Amino acid sequence: MKLKRITLVVMGLAGAPAIAAAQSTVQIYGTANLDIESVEATGAASGQNFARRSRVTSNSSNIGFRGNEDLGAGLKAFYQIESAVNFNDGTTSGFWASRNSGVGLQGGWGQFLLGQWDSPYKFSTLRLDPTGDTGIGAYTGILGGTGSITAGQGGTTFAQRASFDRRVSNVVQYWTPSWNGLSGRFAYGTAGAQQGSAASGVAEGSGLKPSLFSAMAAYETGPLYATLAYEHHKDFQALNTLLAAPASNGKDEAWKAGVSYRLLNGFTLGGIYERLQYRADDINGLGALERKVNNVYLVGKYETGPHSAALAYGWKGDEKLSGAGFSDLPDSKAHQITARYGYSLSKRTQLYALATRITNGSNAFQEFGNSPITSTTLFRDPSRGADSTGFGLGMIHSF
């Protein structure tokens, strides 16, 4: 009798969490994306090249936890905690909640969240990139920024600070529901921790209070997807480390339009047009500086059975400068061509091969959008004008 009572108590305790969780769900998910690569950068205008070598790269691999709770009346609370995982060397550079993470509410009116998340501008065209904006073939080798810009915020290099391909911290986002194929996303990144941190590249006491607004609209019906996106950065000008003085306040803006159409027999064609504009109100007392650049990206994809193939071409235009005694920057065009083939072993596992090359003018400095080339010996990047070439063989497994 005593044993029977103990058994009933244990069963009751074990069942309690299941009852409490009856109205909620929890999911563990992730992606392992690794490849072995051969990369090099040659032809630098100043002679700083990068000799060909092999490496294993963990391309935006991640693990995450997400779930929701039914609050009744059509309202749900949801959360997500996603972290980078460096399968190649196990380093701790991918901190806890380092990727899309937040908490929010959702209902028939849409979704509202607080935390850190990809900007609507970034999200709007991700589906057009056959690499999913990961690895050396990512379309951000051309789109979203220019290596010659030295104004911006965030990241460890000037190019990262100036980027419009951002995961925004201290962000508030609202996503609309879909109305007859039309949807939108809006985000506001507060100044918050953006000011006075080594990670942001902004000096303590600089008085800069960077903030961000990002928005996108998309229309999807049948084989057609079309999107328009805008992003505005306020006071994202970074510390000028060479002159040990902060640049002035300013604003950066970007527009882009993207479209893709799935044809019969597995073909999909797509294209993106982007316009970037950077402005600093004053450059070391010389006056305002404005820099503009136009970018174009074209892609064709083909899928049949387990096979998928893609060919993409990106073009960065010459940089147009005005003010502060500057003139247009000659030979600042860049081109990228990427080819990718994938073979799916299942719905969750794919083997792939890719090749990509970025060709820079003598005054251009475009690098691989993800996993850039860096000299581990000299702790320097290849110089302006260097052409980056990479080949990779890899595997993606999602769970």
281-336: per-residue pLDDT in tens? 766 666 677 889 999 999 999 999 999 999 999 999 998 888 766 677 888 899 99
Query: Mean pLDDT across the chain, nearest whole number?
Result: 82
109, 215, 171, 133: CA torsion to nearest 10: 110
- In the chain, the amino acid numbered 288 is A
pLDDT, tens digit, 9 for 90 and up, residues 51-62: 899 999 999 999
pTM confidence score: 0.85
Degrees to nearest 5, angle at CA 253 with 59 and 365: 50
Which stretches of the chain score pLDDT less than 70? 1-23, 91-94, 147-162, 191-210, 237-249, 282-287, 324-326, 374-382
27-398, CATH topology level: Porin (2.40.160)
Q: How far apart are the first and last CA of the chain?
A: 46
pLDDT of residue 162: 64
* Alpha carbons 52 and 389: distance in angstroms, whole number: 9
Assign 135 to helix, strand or coil.
coil
Are 181 and 214 in contact, with CB atoms under 8 Å apart? no
pLDDT of residue 381: 57
Dihedral angle sign, alpha carbons of residues 11, 17, 18, 20: positive
* Alpha carbons 117 and 97: distance in angstroms, whole number: 10
pLDDT of residue 23: 65
pLDDT of residue 380: 52
pLDDT of residue 249: 67
Degrees to nearest 5, angle at CA 135 with 347 and 163: 125
pLDDT of residue 181: 96
pLDDT of residue 377: 45
* Alpha carbons 231 and 216: distance in angstroms, whole number: 9
pLDDT of residue 363: 86
Are 369 and 164 in contact, with CB atoms under 8 Å apart? no
Per-residue tokens: 390? 């990479």
